[in-house]
Amino acid sequence: MAEQTEAKIPTVIADGVDIVYRVNGTGAGRGTATAALNRIMRRKQAEKAAGVRRVHALKKVSFVAYKGEAIGLIGTNGSGKSTLLKAVAGLLPVENGHIYTHGQPSLLGVNAALMNDLTGERNVHLGGLAMGMSREQIKERYDDIVEFSGINEKGDFITLPMRTYSSGMAARLRFSIAAAKDHDVLLIDEALATGDRKFQVRSEERIRELREHAGTVFLVSHNNKSIRDTCERVLWLERGELRMDGPTEDVMKEYEAFTGDKSDKKAAPKKAA
């Protein structure tokens, strides 16, 4: 048993994390020009008076993620799942607490770096470079990326501009580019919902591979099946609070009872924790 403890290497540690969003111009009648001026003039004063609303998105969230784990993040809409991912990626400042990570966690997503007017081929290069791959690495993996995406299954589409792709094709190419890199800590936000069933199965396989190479995978999804297929541990967030943290089946049962999801027959509806 002692061995088991030794073997567990933490990759992400969240220590009492609070995240607060500040939104400008929300108060009633605050959208006017005078209100905006007022806001600028009174910047140093209390935020409330200046019409800034504070949204407390995460409250005292603590957990430790270990190497080799795939962790699902579940919760109803607006419960703070994506916020937590962004904070782990270091893209959002924490109000209180700390997030410690091993290496640089990366969000799975290169959408923003890709350009619709360029060919798929050039987008593979651009996306790879944006993720910090070297040119040699991209050259090496180029064929794999294209093959995985299945873009060329129906003809030579990779040399066409991405704006000519169907939305499913584009999503598949984006996922393939994003998944081409090995990450220390990989954060995935609902990426598995893209593409046809065949591609989804391939994506799940690829995520398992990434997990073996990488270390830790976080997956946000509303698809309970893909959480069950991919993750062995689940964090359940509700209203910004960590409500449950445990083995997938335990947490999913409670969660399904909570959301009233009857699709899973095994989950006997009982009172949520």
H-helix or E-strand containing 121?
A: helix 120-130
Does 168 engage in binding with another protein (CB under 8 A)? no
Task: Using CB under 8 A, pick the residue from 79, 83, 101, 176 that binds another protein.
Answer: 101
Please list, in sequence order, all residues whose beta carbon lies within 8 angstroms of the beta carbon of residue 18, skipping any fewer than 6 positions away. 56, 58, 59, 60, 94, 95, 96, 97
Does 25 engage in binding with another protein (CB under 8 A)? no
Radius of gyration of the chain (CA): 21
Q: x-or-dash pattern for another protein, window 180-219, by CB under 8 A?
A: ----------------------------------------
Cβ 68 to another protein, closest distance in Å? 12
Contacts 24+ apart (CB under 8 A), 20-23: 20/54, 20/55, 20/56, 20/57, 20/95, 21/54, 21/55, 21/57, 22/47, 22/52, 22/53, 22/54, 22/55, 23/52, 23/53, 23/55
Stretch that binds another protein, among 5-13, 150-158, 199-207, 214-222 (CB under 8 A): 5-13
Please list, in sequence order, all residues whose beta carbon lies within 8 angstroms of the beta carbon of residue 238, skipping any fewer than 6 positions away. 75, 76, 79, 258
Q: x-or-dash pattern for another protein, window 124-143, by CB under 8 A?
A: -xx--xxxx-xx--------
Please list, in sequence order, all residues whose beta carbon lies within 8 angstroms of the beta carbon of residue 71, skipping any fewer than 6 positions away. 65, 216, 217, 218, 219, 231, 233, 234, 235
Q: x-or-dash pattern for another protein, window 102-121, by CB under 8 A?
A: x-xxxx-xxxxx-x-xx---
The amino acid at residue 42 is R
Does 1 engage in binding with another protein (CB under 8 A)? yes
Cβ 115 to another protein, closest distance in Å? 5
The footprint of another protein on this chain (CB under 8 A) covers a number of residues equal to: 58
Across-strand partners of 58? Answer: 19
Stretch that binds another protein, among 89-97, 140-148, 195-203, 209-217 (CB under 8 A): 89-97
Stretch that binds another protein, among 146-154, 206-214, 220-228, 237-245 (CB under 8 A): 237-245
Residues in contact with another protein by CB under 8 A are: 1, 4-5, 9-16, 21-22, 60, 62-64, 86-93, 98-102, 104-107, 109-113, 115, 117-118, 122, 125-126, 129-132, 134-135, 161, 233, 242, 244-247
